[in-house]
Structure 1
Amino acid sequence: MPTRQEEDCLIKACRKILKEKIASKMFVDTLSSEITQLVNVMKRTVDLCESDSALLIGPHGCGKTMLVSKALQQLSSLSSGQEFMVIYLNGLIHTDDNLALKDIIRQLNIETIDNDSFTGSFTDNLQYLLKSFQDSKDRDSKALIFILEEFHLFCLHRNQTLLYNLFDSAQSSKGICIIGVTTHLDVTEMLEKRVKSRFSHRQLLILYQTSIEQRISLFKKLLVLPCDSHTMYLDPVFVHFWNENIEKLCSSDIVRNVLRKQLQLDNNEAKFRSFLMLLISQLTNEHSSLEPEDVNIVYQNFTLDDKVAILQGLSVLEITLIIAMSHQTEIFDGEPFNFEMIIGRYLKFANQNSAIHITQRPVIFKAFERIKHLELISPVNPSAKNIQREFQLYNFLLTKEQVTTTVNRYSGIPTDVTQWATSNLL
């Protein structure tokens, strides 16, 4: 029988191993065809010095960056001894062409370039840089592969100078490959005519389709403890018990329904892994295994609306004012309101219910101000300075469903307030 300290060590070790698995790189087994196509494009550049360009397009979390990484790994093993260099640029980081040029210089690491040579235009500087790299005698690298993450953001640069020069170099020089990665399906429409004419128009569309059985398989793959040398410090009996329990979870109707709803809502694997991280965090000495209901509860919290989460941290008075605002908006068909209107509705409700303690006006106004600072309401005219704060108009930024969900989940709220929130005003 393990001691409490030993149990604590077991649970910590279990959480550590599973979180490392969950945080590991995404599986791209279903994208083997796209990887092969991308490898072929880059391989021709490396082995045959053919220049080319391609766009990798797909939604967030579908595995685009991982696909590029896997393709580069395969390229390294298939390049017949030919070396190549990869230049990474990101539209979120390289917000103008000069920043991109400086990073290209840093990544190429050409120490023989004279800084005085960079006195011309951006086009001259980039062309000189690429020519210096390819003509460098002490380098065996013949190919340059540019990976442009957030490609659509480079389209916003002034005159698209960077893109024009990169695509122009790929068209006029040998051994240059440009791979753009983006979530925008219409990104080619963002290209200027002169840039579009130099692009190969090769596009790889990543539509990551996951079935419920694949999602359950991933659930099992990420939560099963491996029986290898890395887990020697775990009790084999505990590992066997844990893995058997995961098998049972995979066959549970509750778990399968949760995974199905999560998949229908968003098939993003990264978000699914975040969900599993929260699930693993529930493990304690007193709760050393996962139950179907744990999966269901964590899923409900994981899919909780951000604004509902904020509302659950408010006081009963603030929730009551939120309900008053919701009623005011519903009755007057979305018209703006001010503090005087809301306090009038609140006092009418409080006077009709003896169980509700009537709070003093300054306290109510302070609660109203906090709701404003949390940006649950927004001023109609923020720049107005001559209007007293009590009469400034606001728009309500919540839906009735969000208010109702909050009241139903709020613990300790008076019954009268709950009934008022769900009452039919029509």
Structure 2
Amino acid sequence: MSKRKSKESHMTVGQCVSQAQSILRKRFCHQELATSPVGLESQHKHLLELLRRTAVHGESNSVLIVGPRGTGKTMLLNYVLKELLQEQDVKSNIMMVNLNGLLQTDDRIALKEITRQLNLENVVGDKVFGSFAENLAFLLEALKKGDRSSSRPVIFVLDEFDLFAHHKNQTLLYNLLDVSQSAQAPVSVVGLTCRLDVLELLEKRVKSRFSHRQIHLLGSMTLAQYLETAASQLSLPTDFPDAKFANDWNDAVKKLCEDKSVEGVLRKHFEGSKDFRSLHTLLLLALSRVSVSSPVIRPADLLESGRCTAADSKANILHGVSILELCLIIAMKHLNDVYEGEPFNFQMVHNVQNILLQISKMTSNKPNESESESPTEFKKFISRKSHSIHNFEKPVVIKAFEHLQQLELIRPVESSSAKIQKDYQLMKLLLDHTQVLEAVQRYPQCPTDVRQWATSAFA
């Protein structure tokens, strides 16, 4: 006991902070939960029972975990597998194969990946098989124990399950489900998908071999449960090397989550996205602000993280464009305001000075107009404010216009197949009025003329 105390006393604040950040970063980056998934008790029990029957009793099963993105399908499966592998007799016996429809785009790649994950490259060698089924049967046969009486149970996890349905003849799905149904070997096939109509994608022969077990996740977590989860995610474990630091940290986390401003940030985050990936991103940003001088997470840290995650990405892109490109965006904003969102082309943007001058002539015919709003004064105003565009040669302006299209700040409007000259191709601005004004206000060292032109009432 005394040695343990002396060891704890030798840990400096810097070492404690570094250790805490390491533990929490690992938790956030690997999408780990400190406790069991909240609001998924029945689904957790059902899935655990299915996989235990395969791992312990050698019973083959197949099941689909269905739910919208971010509801915790992968998180639930990982938690169940972690719990299952903690059982000593299971850990030494069970084998895992993880496939993803985004990576294994055809059956040949999938079979190669299965062979690699089962560590059977040397067993297969240069053997030639007549069919996929023959190859898979050989792999499962190779997993049999020394007495050849039984085979090691294998759990196949198929992420993005619906994408496997697009493989030619659905050979992979057919053979995996056929093995799980015919009891050739203890196999569980677990599919994860966000498509509710996934069974409609399966061929009749594949569907007939599926058990039709489905576990639905609908994201029923409440705000109170979300706040509790956020607190548990930030808390340090009981086996942290420095008990005093861990207690101080966990007390600070408790006070943090009781703060009204922090609750507001988490509430806004909850209303926008209930998935744990976005929550972990928010908490990771707050964690990165912890240092030796500030060894706990403060409400200001979480508020700043909330601002960063809620930042407008398109408005941020505008902070890095050139003055010429910014002026083109402002000209497009004026055209949008004048023509009420109708498409425009490059020629219209380049000639925006003349367009605005025409508007000034129309407004100058109104009665009781002040002398300061005469066409002459407005002509001076426009020529001064749009000076940035007309300082450049037309090819340079075209290049800037094309760069804005590459940044996806503007996009061409779908039109007929007839070829249209580049200058006259209709475009649409993908920024609204508020985004442009906000970007102009925050643009580093933005010329006063350009800022005034953007906020001009003549637009």
Q: Which range, TM-score by smaller chain?
A: 0.7 to 0.9
Structure 2 CA distance for partners of 1:127 and 1:303, relative to 1, 3 Å? same
1:29 aligns with 2:37: yes
Structure 2 CA distance for partners of 1:314 and 1:114, relative to 1, 3 Å? closer
Q: Which residue of 2 aligns with 1:64?
A: 73
Q: Structure 1: how far apart are the matches of 2:284 and 2:89?
A: 41
Question: What's the CA shift for 1:100?
Answer: 1.4
Question: What's the CA shift for 1:95?
Answer: 1.0
Task: Output the amino acid matched with 1:161.
Answer: T
Question: What's the CA shift for 1:355?
Answer: 6.6
Q: Which residue of 1 aligns with 2:234?
A: 223
CA deviation string 1:151-197 (max 9, x = no partner): 11101101111111111222222422211112222211211122111
Q: Which residue of 1 aligns with 2:316?
A: 309
Q: Structure 1: how far apart are the matches of 2:302 and 2:280?
A: 13
Task: Output the amino acid matched with 1:28.
Answer: S
Question: What's the CA shift for 1:206?
Answer: 1.8
Q: Structure 2: how far apart are the matches of 1:364 and 1:50?
A: 69
Q: Structure 2: how far apart are the matches of 1:187 and 1:56?
A: 11
Aligned pairs, how many? Answer: 417
Q: Structure 2: how far apart are the matches of 1:73 and 1:297?
A: 34
Q: Which residue of 2 aligns with 1:397?
A: 430
SS in 2 for 1:230: coil
When structure 1 is superposed on structure 2, of 171-180 and 412-421 the one drifting more is 412-421
Structure 2 CA distance for partners of 1:9 and 1:358, relative to 1, 3 Å? farther
Structure 2 CA distance for partners of 1:333 and 1:74, relative to 1, 3 Å? same
- 1:89–1:149: 8 Å Cα contact kept in structure 2? yes
Match of 2:200 among 189, 204, 208: 189
- 1:145–1:177: 8 Å Cα contact kept in structure 2? yes
Structure 2 CA distance for partners of 1:43 and 1:226, relative to 1, 3 Å? closer
Question: What's the CA shift for 1:139?
Answer: 7.8
When structure 1 is superposed on structure 2, of 279-288 and 25-34 the one drifting more is 279-288
1:7-406 paired onto structure 2 within 5 Å: 15-23=21-29, 25-26=32-33, 27-30=35-38, 31-76=40-85, 83-110=93-120, 118-134=128-144, 137=147, 141-174=151-184, 175-224=186-235, 229-231=240-242, 243-283=250-290, 290-345=297-352, 348=356, 351-352=380-381, 356=385, 358-359=387-388, 360-362=391-393, 364-379=397-412, 389-406=422-439
Structure 2 CA distance for partners of 1:265 and 1:45, relative to 1, 3 Å? same
Task: Output the amino acid matched with 1:195.
Answer: V
SS in 2 for 1:308: helix
Question: What's the CA shift for 1:324?
Answer: 1.6
Q: Structure 2: how far apart are the matches of 1:351 and 1:219?
A: 57
Task: Output the amino acid matched with 1:361.
Answer: F
* TM-score under structure 2 length normalisation: 0.76
- 2:282–2:302: 8 Å Cα contact kept in structure 1? no
Task: Output the amino acid matched with 1:265.
Answer: G
* TM-score under structure 1 length normalisation: 0.81
SS in 2 for 1:119: coil
Q: Structure 1: how far apart are the matches of 2:454 and 2:311?
A: 19
Question: What's the CA shift for 1:18?
Answer: 4.3
Task: Output the amino acid matched with 1:19.
Answer: R
Question: What's the CA shift for 1:200?
Answer: 0.8
Structure 2 CA distance for partners of 1:130 and 1:136, relative to 1, 3 Å? farther
- 2:155–2:189: 8 Å Cα contact kept in structure 1? yes
Question: What's the CA shift for 1:260?
Answer: 0.3
Q: Structure 2: how far apart are the matches of 1:272 and 1:219?
A: 8
Gap runs ≥5 in structure 2: 1-11, 357-377
Rg (Cα) greater in structure: 2
Gap runs ≥5 in structure 1: 1-5
Q: Which residue of 2 aligns with 1:3?
A: none
Task: Output the amino acid matched with 2:215.
Answer: L
Task: Output the amino acid matched with 2:176.
Answer: L
- 1:377–1:397: 8 Å Cα contact kept in structure 2? yes
Question: What's the CA shift for 1:292?
Answer: 3.1
Question: What's the CA shift for 1:245?
Answer: 4.1
Task: Output the amino acid matched with 2:381.
Answer: Q
Q: Which residue of 1 aligns with 2:3?
A: none
